[in-house]
A = this chain, B = another copy of it.
Amino acid sequence: PTSLDLAIVPGDGIGPEVVAEAVLVLQAVAADAGVTLATTEHDLGARRWHATGETLTEHDLDALRAHDAILLGAIGDPTVPSGVLERGVLLPLRFALDHCVNLRPSRLFPGATSPLDLDRVAPEGFDLVVVREGTEGPYVGNGGALRVGTPQEIATEVSVNTAYGVERVVRAAFAHAAERPRRRLTLVHKHNVLVHAGDLWRRIVEAVAGDHPDVTVDYLHVDAATIFLVTDPGRFDVIVTDNLFGDILTDLAAAVSGGIGLAASANIDPSQANPSMFEPVHGSAPDIAGRGIADPTAAILSAALLLDHVGLPDQAHRVTEAVAADLASRGSEPRGTSQVGAAIRARL
């Protein structure tokens, strides 16, 4: 591309601080690559909800759809009742923009601090990516409750899985696996208990595997997958899984690879009908917001995923390697948000 038109959603808490650093990185590499970068801020999240009662409007969506991609900081604040912004902003964004592919890489960067005894469980390090379905599963809001507040209350949550929805994310996961050196894909589900959804996932993985004879496929129950993530994370290359299992596995994978302070994610509409969205996995961390101490690394790595997605893989690689170099040289001295950002930009 010769130009890039981004929507920036700084959001709440540390969102604006970390996104600002990511934007500086994007500006630096765009200039080098001769790409004109335009950014437009969009106001979503707690502040606006408090001020106007609005979460995500049709008008917001129209405005966001006009951009090439979206960079989001974080949404959420303890002053807003739990669920309001999740189900009012974050999830509606994913659903309305058809972000069916939620890509979450977990790579052990040299210098990152893992809670694992790495010498024993991952002497060679690890480099995995979870391809999480983003528009189905128990996230569809298809539950209900009867006789609420009585001893006869019953509450249900329905996981909805369609061949259409599963196939598109499975195809994306295979395509991704085929481009990686190890070409390995692990389906994670719980088909011994969740038999209908599990069978659908299993059959579709089998069918799509036929188009990718070069990709090795295996299967793990979700409980077993959590065990391997801590005892042998190096066994994983690409994991494909549903929305809820993906939520759980990606936080765990982030934790073992150095914490959600490093975890980036991409919410992708592979049809390109809608702009994809890039965001750090961490939340708004209100306890440290506004103090200039939040780590912008995950936001910067999310910007790298954005660059890759919009067709600037070399610039994406530059950013990721700059982060890797910075991480490898981090000492124990605490650095501020802008210090980390500047250090990473200096290594570009």
Contacts and interface: CB of A to CB of B under 8 A. Distances in A.
Contacts of A148: 199-200
Contacts of A200: 145, 148, 153, 155
A251 B226 contact: yes
A303 interface: no
A91 B164 CA distance: 31
Interface in A67-84: 82-83
A39 interface: no
A190 interface: yes
A249 B230 CA distance: 13
B223 A251 contact: yes
A118 B121 CA distance: 13
A222 interface: yes
A230 B163 contact: no
Given A82-B191, A200-B153, A251-B224, A159 B144 contact: no
A231 interface: yes
A197 B158 contact: no
A260 B227 CA distance: 9
Q: How many copies does the complex hold?
A: 2
A193 interface: yes
Nearest to A246: B223
A33 to B, nearest CB: 36
B195 A87 contact: yes
A255 interface: yes
Contacts of A87: 192-193, 195
Interface of A: 82-83, 86-87, 91, 114-118, 120-121, 138-139, 141, 143-145, 147-164, 167, 190-197, 199-200, 203, 222-224, 226-227, 230-231, 244, 247-248, 250-252, 254-256, 259-260
23 contacts: A82-B192, A86-B192, A87-B195, A115-B231, A116-B116, A117-B118, A138-B157, A143-B196, A145-B200, A148-B199, A152-B164, A154-B163, A155-B197, A155-B200, A157-B158, A158-B158, A159-B159, A190-B244, A222-B248, A223-B247, A227-B251, A231-B255, A252-B252
